Amino acid sequence: MWVYPRPQFWFEQLVVNHYQDHLWREHFRVSSDTFEYICGLVGPQLIRQNTILRQAITVEKRVAVALWRLATGNSYRTVGLTFGIGRCTAMNVKDEFFSALIRRANDFIKFPKTAEETRQAMQEFLNISRFPQVVGALDGSHIPIKAPKDDPNELRESKKFP
């Protein structure tokens, strides 16, 4: 048997219903517009052709599988069950997505090359974050701190912790 049927179509329904942007943010940590942008960015590397044996997994579903894994940290078995694909397929899809993103990294990740560019980057980051001597950030980690006494809600992360 080439394909084990997994009748789960919640994702396909979500793709059709773009008006549910809050669900995109909740489940994938990006808006539906950002999701579409990512699909367009990595789509040429992720697209697969249908065969006479089976239908290819769409670019949208491939991106969703990878983002779901990143957003939730769920096991590949759980991700596969969630999206109606196999465990190994979920792992391969995530790996292919990462490879496609890495190929485009230089389009988005740029480090300052001169002392002046470094000073400018630090000032721009300070303007938006109030953290001195930082050039930029790729992602965040939760580091618990004491909330500032003058404005305890100012430095809150996505889960509302200081």
Confidence of residue 82 (pLDDT cuts 50, 70, 90): confident
* Backbone torsions φ then ψ of 20, nearest 5 degrees: -95, 55
d(CA 100, CA 48): 14
pLDDT score of 111: 87
pLDDT score of 7: 54
pLDDT score of 71: 87
Whether 56 shows a pLDDT value over 70: the answer reads: yes
Say if residue 55 is exposed, middle or buried (CB neighbours under 10 Å; 0-12, 13-18, 19+). exposed
Confidence of residue 145 (pLDDT cuts 50, 70, 90): confident
| pLDDT single digits (tens) 12-54 | 666 666 557 777 787 788 888 899 999 999 999 999 999 988 8
Q: What torsion, rounded to 10 degrees, do the Cα atoms 95, 97, 102, 104 define?
A: 160
More confident residue, 1 or 129: 129
| pLDDT single digits (tens) 100-142 | 999 998 888 888 999 999 999 999 989 988 888 998 877 666 6
